[in-house]
Amino acid sequence: MSTSPALRAPPRSFAHPEGIPGRAVGALLRRFNSGLNRAAVARLDPRPGERVLEIGFGPGHALELLSRRAGASGVAGIDPSQLMVRAAERRNRTRPPEERVEVRRGRAEQLPWDPATFSAVLTVNNLLFWEPPEAGLSEVRRVLKPGGRVLVAFHSTAARRLLATKGDPLDQLATLLGPWLRRVGLEPGPPEKVPTWSGAGLLFPATRSLA
C-alpha cells in the first residue's frame, strides 16, 4: 500500500515474493536486474573491511557482488520475504564461515542494527515499497556512520510501474528522492542515469554528514 499520492501500490509478487510465483519473480529479477546491480555496486564502491548493508536483496545478486568487494564478513542484508531470506541462508551454508554474509528478515522501516553500524548502504528497486519511503531513509541515516554513504538504485521499468506521475520515470523519481533524502538529514549527491541491457537505471547517491 502506498502512502504518497505520487506512488502506486506495487504488484504483490514483486513487493512480497513468496511461494511459486515468488520463485519465478526471483529468477526473473536476477536476470533482468543484473546490469543495474553491477552498476550500483561499482558506484557505491565498497572497500575491503567496510561494513555494508543491502536492503531488499531479493535473489541476492548485489549481496554477492558486495561481498566480493568488501569481504563477505562485512556484508549484511535484510529482506522481509521468507523465500528470499531462506534462499540467502541456503547459499550461506555452502560457503566457509568467513565467506558468509549476515542475513536478516525484516523491513527497511525498522532496521535491527545499532546506530552508526555501516559505512555504506545499498538499495536496488526497493525504496518505493517502503511505507513510507522517508521512514526507511530515516533508518538508513540512523545505521550509517557519520560520513557514510548510501546508494539508491532503480530500474526504469520498476519506477514506471510504481510512480503515478507522467514523464520519464527516472527523472520523476530523482525529483522525489532529493527532498526525501534531505528531510531525513542525508545530503543528496548528483544522480546518474546508466544504460543496462534491460533498459536504464537511476543511481542516486547520498551521504550522512560527519556531524
Ligand X SMILES: C[S@@+](CC[C@H](N)C(=O)[O-])C[C@H]1O[C@@H](n2cnc3c(N)ncnc32)[C@H](O)[C@@H]1O
Judged by CB under 6 A, the chain residues 118 through 177 that form the site for ligand X are 124-126, 129-130
CB of 153 to ligand X, least distance (A): 8
Using CA atoms, how far residue 157 sits from 11, 62, 86, 207, in Å, is: 13, 18, 27, 26
CB of 210 to ligand X, least distance (A): 27
Q: Which of 35, 46, 58, 201 binds ligand X (CB under 6 A)?
A: 58
Contacts of 171 (CB under 8 A, 6+ apart): none
Nearer to ligand X, 26 or 188 (CB): 26
Pairing of strands 186-188, 52-55: unpaired
CB of 96 to ligand X, least distance (A): 25
Separation between Cα atoms, residue 176 and residue 139, nearest integer Å: 18
Instruction: Give yes or no for a contact between 31 and 55, defined as CB atoms under 8 angstroms apart.
Output: no
Judged by CB under 6 A, the chain residues 74 through 103 that form the site for ligand X are 79-81, 84
| C-alpha triplet 174, 180, 184: angle, nearest 5° | 145
CB of 56 to ligand X, least distance (A): 3
Q: Which of 7, 33, 103, 143 binds ligand X (CB under 6 A)?
A: 33
Q: Which of 35, 46, 56, 133 binds ligand X (CB under 6 A)?
A: 56
